[in-house]
Amino acid sequence: MVPMVGERRAALILLLILCSVLITLPNIVAVRAVEDSWTTKASMPSALGRQGNAVVNGKIYVILGSINYEYDPALDTWATKKPMPTPRFYFGIAVYQNKIYIIGGTTDFIWSSDTGTTYTGVNEAYDPITDTWETKAPMPTNRVEVQTSVVNGKIYIMGGTTGYDQTKPEYTFCATNEAYDPLTNTWETKNPMPTKKKSFDANVVDNKIYCIGGDVGNNNYTEVNEVYDPTTDSWTTKAPIPIPVQSYQSVVLDNKIYVIITHGPSESNYNQIYDVKSDTWTSGENLPITIAPASVVATTGIMAPKRIYVIGGFTVNTTHVIALNTTYVYNPETDVWSSGASMPTSRYGVGVVVIDDVLYAIGGATDFMKYTAAVDQYTPMGYIPEFPSWIILPLFVTATLAVIIFRKRLA
């Protein structure tokens, strides 16, 4: 009988340990869930702005000119990777099957009066696993400021600028729509957009590409809402956006497109919401202040509640721009804006990347043509981290031992 008493006691102890861990775990998670904070992280090797950002296997890649940096959020470390073979700016960027495609752009960072001689259709793919670049088939049309979308294994490049007419003077915009197949390394010219334009967003909802607003030339902004169906290679005109926009920021949540932080007819704080299902527009609560160019991103509702975040930006006084460190948080369910924690670094045009509902603010400008290497991490209020991996194994071992001892006791 003594061994049985010992086994029973051991089983009870294991069960008590298991229960105590299960009781304590929610409290551990709850403490983390209420955080709304910014944390300063390791700076980039050099100051950057207007860069391309991509996420592959939980790491952030920052690409601009010949620069190619890799940031590991888990280790808070930066590494300099193999430079892009053709240094470019204002390019299209897309990720497909864990490779980063840099398409088009210009070889001149200052291109405002360029007639198009520096524009390119170069297409280069970066493999983060092997740290190698591969030159792919070039895009048929040389252009900058394009919009990229990935649908059903193809990369679609739409709109943009093909040159600058110095006799008018004005930019030459295009309605070009070209699709790249990474598997066959081939391009196909698709039906063009109904409207020639740049400075718009291309949002994908249910495998269709929504191209709203944009700059159609001479500072004329359009209200058009044009939708491309890659399956039928056709365009459909939908309900126009109530207030014409260009150079805006937008996000998609629950089949709705939120158009926020706009230029046109002037910088604005409008919050225009498009319901894809009903083809209707509604006005959400306006952002508390008028700012531009801020960065707008959203959390998914998995690790943190579904919210829209407006990060940084600038306001203008009589002499110069004033960079902001503000964080504004929008709740789509209640249609209410609130102020979040202040970002450590005031800046505008900041690249914001979201990984597992945590925000990373990278680079940007602190003043005109003055860029920063600062990197800050934002943890949203309501954030719930993944189930701690260090608890899983002890729980499994404890539960297994308890079951074995009890089964032996019953036998």
Give the chain's mean pLDDT: 89
Whether 196 maps to a domain, the answer reads no
Q: 79 with 125: CB under 8 angstroms?
A: no
Q: What does the pLDDT read at residue 4? A: 54
- pLDDT reading at 30 higher than 50: no
237 vs 228: CA distance, rounded Å: 9
CA-closest candidate to residue 94, choices 156, 139, 178, 177:
156
Whether 406 maps to a domain, the answer reads yes
- pLDDT reading at 60 higher than 80: yes
State pLDDT tens for residues 292-336: 889 999 999 999 999 999 999 998 877 788 999 999 999 999 999
Q: Averaged over 336-349, what is the pLDDT? A: 97
- CA angle 279-281-287, nearest 5°? 145
45 vs 366: CA distance, rounded Å: 17
154 vs 165: CA distance, rounded Å: 32
State pLDDT tens for residues 368-401: 889 999 999 999 999 987 655 545 556 556 556 5
State pLDDT tens for residues 275-291: 999 999 999 999 999 88
Whether 116 maps to a domain, the answer reads no
**Residue-number span of the structural domain to which 29 is assigned:** 1-35+386-411
Residue 1 pLDDT level (bands cut at 50, 70, 90): very low
Whether 403 maps to a domain, the answer reads yes
Whether 163 maps to a domain, the answer reads no
207 vs 252: CA distance, rounded Å: 13
State pLDDT tens for residues 190-245: 999 999 999 999 999 999 999 999 999 887 899 999 999 999 999 999 999 999 99
The 3-state secondary structure of 350-404, one letter per residue = CEEEEECCEEEEECCEEECCEEECCEEEEECCCCCCCCCHHHHHHHHHHHHHHHH
Element containing residue 148 per DSSP (H, E): strand 147-151
Q: What does the pLDDT read at residue 411? A: 56
- pLDDT reading at 67 higher than 60: yes
Q: Please tell me the pTM assigned to this model.
A: 0.87
Radius of gyration of the chain (CA): 25
Q: What does the pLDDT read at residue 261? A: 75
Q: Count how many domains the chain has.
A: 1
Q: What does the pLDDT read at residue 21? A: 56
Whether 1 maps to a domain, the answer reads yes
Q: Averaged over 94-109, what is the pLDDT? A: 95
What percent of the chain is predicted at pLDDT more than 70? 82
State pLDDT tens for residues 140-196: 999 999 999 999 999 999 999 998 887 877 889 999 999 999 999 999 999 999 999
Q: What does the pLDDT read at residue 116? A: 64
